[in-house]
Amino acid sequence: MPLLYEVVTPEWVKHAVFYQIFPDRFAISSSLQKPHNLEPWDTTPTTYGYKGGDLLGVLERLDYIQGLGVTAVYFNPIFQSASNHRYHTHDYYQVDPLLGGNAAFDTLLAECKRRGLRVVLDGVFNHASRGFFQFNDILENGAASPWLDWFYVDDAGGVHPINAYDLQRAPGYKAWWGLHALPKLNTDNPQVREYLMQVGEHWIRKGIDGWRLDVANEITTPGFWQEFRQRIKALNPDAYIVAEIWEESPQWLQGDQFDAVMNYPLTEALISFVAGKRLRREFVENKGYRPVAGITGQQFAAKVDRLLQLYPWPIVLAQLNLLDSHDTARFISIADGDETSLRLATLLLFTLPGAPSIYYGDEIGMTGGGSDALARKTFPWNQPEAWNHELRDFHKQVIALRKTHPALRVGTFQNLYADTFGFAFARTLADQTFVIAVNVGHESATQRLPLTRLINTDTAPRVVFGAASRVQTDNSTITLDLPARSATVLNVSQR
């Protein structure tokens, strides 16, 4: 597909390490008064219950977050809502009172700016909620409401009064996935479109660094996302616009709409290759991706090559790469509790092109699968004995490796080797070249990597991360012996 626009993505994103926070479950501050009917923090969460996490709780944990090496935080929705996940927006201009309201957000944002920590918010613009004022007016006034055309009431064969609560009957209006609680906004209406544009602009003016756009591909109004990009970038050219689209997305990533998408196709490939036969099939069913129980290194290499060639390079470097999220089971649970799988996948996540994102708690081995609620457990701040401290140290080391070497962030990519259980590639920037080699098999393996495909061939490789039992070079080949289920990173740069 020929490009009609110059493709420019925010430079800071290409160097970022993201940390995704589900606000109700991350941290709770004792400085905020809360209603009494909250679930105890350390109990198993339920579908509808609130734990009471808040933004001042996040503020009080910024040292922890930055101690990992994180440089940007992506928050699941923070706006006023009658749901613990807050995808049912009541008011796009008000931070939820349980989170501390606008005052808590202002305090948190100011401190993040002081620390140089970027903040990306979740924009849920495809649908609102039954509590959204304009929709609530329809519930109160029926056919007399002046806000009828803010939604798709008549288009869905709606009758008055519409049915917002009886789940045994159709709602009488378009709703996301037919859910009565989520009436779809009519973005073909110029008033609705302008309202949402102004919401996007408002929070950029407040100082956020970007938007993650929920189910962005379900807004199909011609020109909507082009205008959104123009107006957001006019206020802050470095703002990050990343869409939740689970499929390959070349039509959305041409430089005129989004900077990137959540890179679930890569997530799918990483799960399939690294978790392999450990994959808990019941934890990946009925999601937007389709991991399978084991693909070969050759298949993984082909999937990576395809994804890297599908988009312009500035977009590749800005893709939000992830192993899991609030919408999936946690990777370690998908891999049947296998920590080695998580370590290998994390190393690949931080060395492949794109901006890596950690879902809160993955770094300490938090588990969760089988339901959304179980993937959104509370962070066990009061139970440090339950943390996997070695796994957290591993995350710190991998993050530090990426941050120390620019080639691992913005260097070119070369596929060097693939076999049934092995995969190796190089990242090169100027005179820096690093080789990353992985063996996911249960036996030690030898990989012979062609030096002729690397820019620098006159330097003995040095292991900078992981281990290899043998690293040998001749004029044309690096020979690696990798232990079972292990990985190594070699520096083959010119000295």
Active site residue ranges: 214, 244
> What is the rounded distance in angstroms from the CA atom of residue 250 to the CA atom of residue 433?
29
DSSP 3-state of 199: helix
Cα separation, 405 vs 492, whole angstroms: 12
Indicate the residue type of 80.
Q
The two three-digit tokens of residue 165, written as one number: 């609560």
Rounded to 5 degrees, φ, ψ at 83 are -155, 150
Q: Quick one: which of 243, 224, 233, 244 has its CA closest to 204?
A: 233
Structure token digits, residue 372: 């959304």
Q: Report how far residue 289's alpha carbon sits from residue 267's, in angstroms, rounded to the nearest whole number.
A: 8
Token pair 């109700």 is at which residue? 24
Q: Quote the CA–CA distance of 229 and 211 in Å, as a whole number.
A: 10
Gap between the terminal Cα atoms of the chain: 41
Dist CA 26 CA 65 (whole Å): 11
E runs forming strands in 346-411? 355-359
